[in-house]
Amino acid sequence: MTATALREPVERVGRGWTTSLSVANGAIWVGWYGPLQILLAVQAEDLAPAGTSKETVLAWVTGVGAVVSLAANPLFGALSDRTTARWGRRTPWIVAGTAGGAASLMLLSAAGSVWWMAAGWCLVQLTLNAAFAAVTAAVPDRVPRLQRGSVGGWLGAAQLLGVVVGTGLATVTGGTVAGYAACAVFTVAGVLPYVVRHRDLRLDAADRPPFVWRSFAGSFWLSPRRYPDLAWAWLTRFLINVSNSVVLLYLLYFLRDRLHRSDPEGGVLILTAVNGVTMLATVVVGGAWSDRVGRRKPFVIWAGTLMAVATGLLALWQTWPGAIVAAALLGVGFGVFTSVDFALMTDVLPKAMDRGKDLGVINIANSLPQVAAPAIAAPIVTYLGGYRVLYLVAAVIGLAGAVLVTRIRGVE
């Protein structure tokens, strides 16, 4: 008989479980996006050596951290798949990753050099990805297919609130060290209710496959020929996230250097809040609507196209009102994309035994753009036309992702 942890879930999850998991997910994003939106940019400016631009330092640090994320998410997902602890497959990694993430944020807060800053951010990526991989895998473990759009919507709403809260904590706490400390405390406090209140599914030791290094390493390659729908879904998520990452990466510098805002940090917070409000208006509704009609692709295509239009607007209307309108439209599109694309991804997973690992491989499409975005953005801003060209390129990339959704055959 199939172990409970490996069965396809059929019983709908309750509001309490969804709320606790969503809060935990959002709390992890606080730990990521307080640094990404504000704190790392401030440190890059403070620590940049003479003759090296702050943009280059920020691009290098975030790029190296993203490389760590690329490996950490599928690795910890795979390890959680094989965990037979009495607390379940996912909970031990959620606890360890969250505690390690909080400690790493405090180490990063004390950085006195670019190398220290890079090492600290790599540790943050390593630990928080352990927690995030396990939280994400809990959804296909527990949520039936026709509820995943709705649950994905609440997770997406929590992620956005995590970005807003992280940005707010980094902005209003009064200093880099205080900002990192606030993000660390919030991350731990947000994850705690889920691990305390909800019992995880256990994997029986008899159902765990034997560990062989060669087969374990080889399992991370998911052949596009064998799983074409998964490959196309991965590529569409990657391209749309590259576009979004390019928009976010230099937002602080765009407001300061191109729009000449007197308070660029406050401007980032305002734009993040505007984006958050419009995303909240669509993320849950989009996922629930997708569940109700039983279709995913039209929602993802529409959302990706709207995001491309909004990004193009940043290139053509480079004013503060233009930035606000673009932020609002990006929120509408990204809200629908976040919930429905997550459901689409869980629908194309190949095996129950490998949910954590496969979602980790899929989540590379979230972290790899953090490597690609600096590689694209830094030379364009510095040498190839500045922010106008940068946002036009980002719009084309996002539109390509929306179009390629049509290549997925096994999901409507």
What are the pLDDT digits (tens) for 4-36? 766 777 788 899 999 999 999 999 999 998 898
pLDDT digits (tens, 9 = 90+) for 230-272: 888 889 989 998 888 888 877 888 888 788 877 888 888 888 8
Q: Rg (Cα) of the chain, in Å, rounded?
A: 20
Judged on CB neighbours under 10 Å (0-12, 13-18, 19+), 107 is middle
pLDDT of residue 410: 64
Looking at the predicted structure, is the pLDDT value of residue 377 above 50?
A: yes
Percent of the chain with pLDDT over 70: 98
Residue 8, in any domain of the structure: no
Asked if 343 and 287 count as a contact pair (C-beta separation under 8 A), the reply is yes
* SS3 assignment, position 148: helix
Query: Rounded CA gap, 195 and 135, in Å?
Result: 10
pTM, full prediction = 0.79
Report, as an integer, the average pLDDT of 141-161.
Answer: 86
Judged on CB neighbours under 10 Å (0-12, 13-18, 19+), 48 is middle
- Give the closest residue to 319 by CA, choosing from 377, 265, 271: 271
* SS3 assignment, position 223: coil
Asked if 316 and 94 count as a contact pair (C-beta separation under 8 A), the reply is no
What token pair was written down for 21?
Answer: 């998991």
- Give the closest residue to 302 by CA, choosing from 162, 171, 405: 405
What token pair was written down for 174?
Answer: 């009064």
Using alpha carbons, list the distances in angstroms from residue 391 to 47, 315, 317, 369, 377: 27, 5, 11, 15, 9
pLDDT of residue 1: 33
Looking at the predicted structure, is the pLDDT value of residue 115 above 90?
A: yes
What token pair was written down for 403?
Answer: 């179009």
pLDDT of residue 161: 84
Residue 59, in any domain of the structure: yes
Task: Specify the number of domains making up the chain.
Answer: 1
Residue 291, domain CATH: 1.20.1250.20
The conformation of residue 353, written as its DSSP 8-state character, comes to T
pLDDT digits (tens, 9 = 90+) for 80-97: 988 888 888 899 999 999
Residue 7, in any domain of the structure: no
- Give the closest residue to 195 by CA, choosing from 79, 357, 24, 78: 24
- Helices 264-293/297-316 angle, 10° precision: 160
Residue 329, in any domain of the structure: yes
Report, as an integer, the average pLDDT of 352-373.
Answer: 79
Instruction: State the residue range of the domain holding 184.
Output: 14-198+220-407
Residue 5, in any domain of the structure: no
Count CA atoms within 13 Å of residue 401 on its CB side.
Answer: 32
Residue 132, in any domain of the structure: yes
Asked if 182 and 31 count as a contact pair (C-beta separation under 8 A), the reply is no
Residue 205, in any domain of the structure: no
Handedness of CA 161, 340, 233, 276 (dihedral sign): negative
Query: Rounded CA gap, 39 and 8, in Å?
Result: 42
Angle of CA points 379, 63, 235, to nearest 5°? 90
Residue 333, in any domain of the structure: yes
Question: Mean pLDDT, the chain, as a whole number?
Answer: 86
Asked if 311 and 394 count as a contact pair (C-beta separation under 8 A), the reply is yes
User: What is the identity of the amino acid at 126?
Assistant: L
pLDDT of residue 166: 92
Using alpha carbons, list the distances in angstroms from residue 307 to 313, 328, 358: 10, 10, 27
